[in-house]
Amino acid sequence: MNSGILLVDKPHGITSHDVVARTRRLAGTRKVGHAGTLDPMATGLLVLGVESATRLLTYLVGLDKEYLATIRLGWNTTTDDAEGEALAAAPAERLSAASEDAIRERMIPLTGVIEQVPSAVSAIKVDGKRAYQRVRDGESVQLAARTVTVSAFELLAMREADGAVDLDVRVACSSGTYVRALARDLGAALGTGGHLTALRRTRIGAFHVDEAATLDELDVAAAIMRPADAARRALPVVRLTAQHAVDLGHGKRVEASDAEGADAEAGAVLAAVDPDDRLIAIVERRGGTLKVVTGFPSEGAGA
């Protein structure tokens, strides 16, 4: 099996690990990983790495992301989503006061660079243990706020449903942003409570869900994206001479001035490809040289 990147549209009700396990069977290899987990209730884009292309996932995890989601106003839950236990419902007058104008107004402070407290049932580690596991074990978890960027928080539609108000929204955000927390915080700002009832990831960086295959239709050999093609969507590309490709492949530094596209600032991380457009390494500009950060074997190799 060649190494490369797969785009998969995760269905509702299974874990990201389930998708990885299924892909391992289809690809005939244990070496499959993913760039960014989706909860079982969520659907949409998972970016998977196969064989040595799993090394590329490190550079894809931190890309910005885009989601379509449904937020239900009317009450909070213990998990900030529909999987949790429902808490006290908001008074009817609070819900009726949540007009479209009021909702849009309360979304503005949740847009831009914000300080966000992650959901207590997140995968963030607290003293070496996942926060969600501490919650399941009956512990009280208070996570510190972290700086995230929400570049878009748009109201697409709203409707009444089951004594609540459902909002369809689009969120574009930095890696590490919790859409569940946006639902919680919007509900708090409106005084209605709020939680997430649906979530679909539509984009990771320049990778889009409309390019992805469903698990049922996934043909690994046909769908796999070459490492070089995937890398150039996430990183600037530097083109090597044949000799420099050999040298970098052996872990040697090469002169940046001899490589096309290497006129980047110091510390820049670049995808280095050979004359045959094969990904040789992820490199860092160190002064006048390119230093290997992550090397890649021949694309046909399973290393």
pLDDT tens readout for residues 275-287: 999 999 999 988 8
Strands 32-34 and 146-161: unpaired
**pLDDT attached to residue 144:** 81
What pLDDT was estimated at residue 21?
96
How far apart are alpha carbons 154 and 169 in whole angstroms? Answer: 5
In order of 232, 271, 277, the CA distances from 297 in angstroms are 17, 14, 13
Domains of the chain: 4-62+205-226 (3.30.2350.10), 65-204 (3.30.2350.10), 235-295 (2.30.130.10)
Parts of the chain with a pLDDT under 70 = 1, 121-141, 262, 298-303
What does the pLDDT read at residue 259? 77
Backbone dihedral region of 136: left (phi > 0), alpha (psi from -120 to 50 degrees) or beta? alpha
The DSSP bridge partners found for residue 52 are none
For position 286, what pLDDT does the model report?
87
Vertex 79 angle, CA 130 and 207, to 5°: 75
How far apart, in whole angstroms, are the C-alpha atoms of residue 147 and residue 133?
Answer: 24
Residue 149, beta-bridge partner list: 113
Residue position matching structure tokens 């449904």:
70
Measure the CA–CA gap between 166 and 157, rounded to whole angstroms. 8
> Strand, coil or helix: what is 73?
strand
Enter the pTM of the model.
0.91
From the list 39, 80, 81, 247, the catalytic residue is 39
Averaged pLDDT of the chain: 90
What pLDDT digit, counting tens, does each position of 126-136 carry? 666 666 666 66
210 tagged catalytic:
no
Q: What is the DSSP letter of 60?
A: T
pLDDT at 132: 62
Q: What are the residues facing 194 on neighbouring strands? A: 73
The alpha-helical segments, DSSP class H, found in 120-219 are 131-136, 179-190
